[in-house]
Amino acid sequence: MGMAVWHKRDEWLSLLEDLFDPATTSRLEGVGVRPGWHVLEVGAGRGSIAGWLAERVGESGRVVATDIDTTLLDQLQEPRLEVLRHDVLADDFPAASFDLVHCRAVLVHVGDPHRALERIAEWLKPGGVLVAEEPWTDVARLAPDPVVAKAAEALGETLDGGFARRLPPVLREIGLERVEASADVRFFDGGSGEAAFIHRVLEGACARLVAAGRLDPSEVRGLQDRFADPSFCDCGWPRIGAIGWKPGA
């Protein structure tokens, strides 16, 4: 990985952590992470949540942090944390390995999220818990700003922007129990961290639209200006968190 790409990914993941870690750690505290637990963090990014989990499971616990690119994870200095390059659809773990599996903004990027969740459920111990958090980006297709709506439609060509809405029933379909889900929806002002996050996601989709002649470059510049304007206000994407427990304990 080139240095420019490395720094861009590091910066992007840092922004994601700043915005979303508080809600994630609150949800994980709610399931009662305890000392001694064996935990899997799928798509661990820079490792902020994996590190938080390592503190909670203590000396007797274990955290495995996986990603298809572990460049940023390899920097972590935490003896209770094992870093592993791993593809959730291709690479396996022994059955009944973990008390908790957590993933965030992973399943929307996976070619077969239903199968990924089936595999994850197999890795859970009886009585173990899955916590999955995914953005419902299809909501942006309803944006009053036509450029945002176009970009959101294009975004749906590269990720499953509606999967988060289907997440809770899928957890039931794969055999998990006591399934519960909630969504965090916030409005944001231009120039904020949330605006920067959403704009960075949309600008990639806009670039593809411009290249295909479906969007004028001036419209993209206008969108950038609006997202930087403190007087601009829009609805963020709902972040749906779902929790399900494996039967048998």
| Per-residue 3-state assignment (H helix, E strand, C coil) for 86-108 | CCCCCCCCCCCCEEEEEEECCHH
Share of the chain above pLDDT 70, in %: 96
Topology of domain 3-137+160-185+238-245, CATH: Rossmann fold (3.40.50)
Contact at 8 Å (CB) between 210 and 216?
A: yes
The pLDDT mean for the chain works out to 91
Give the separation between CA 211 and CA 68, rounded to whole angstroms. 28
Select from 69, 104, 97, 66 the least CA-distant residue to 84.
Answer: 66
Residue with the two structure tokens 């290249």: 211
pLDDT(6) > 70: no
**Contact residues for 53 (Cβ-Cβ < 8 A; gap 6+):** 28, 33, 39, 41, 63, 100, 102
pLDDT(131) > 90: yes
pLDDT of residue 13: 76
pLDDT of residue 97: 97
pTM for the complete prediction? 0.92
pLDDT of residue 172: 97
Burial class (CB in 10 A: 0-12, 13-18, 19+), 219: middle
* Winning range, highest mean pLDDT, from 68-72, 132-136, 194-198: 132-136
pLDDT of residue 4: 41
* Winning range, highest mean pLDDT, from 12-16, 193-197, 243-247: 243-247
Work out the average pLDDT over 141-168: 92
Model confidence at 249, pLDDT cuts 50, 70, 90, reads: low
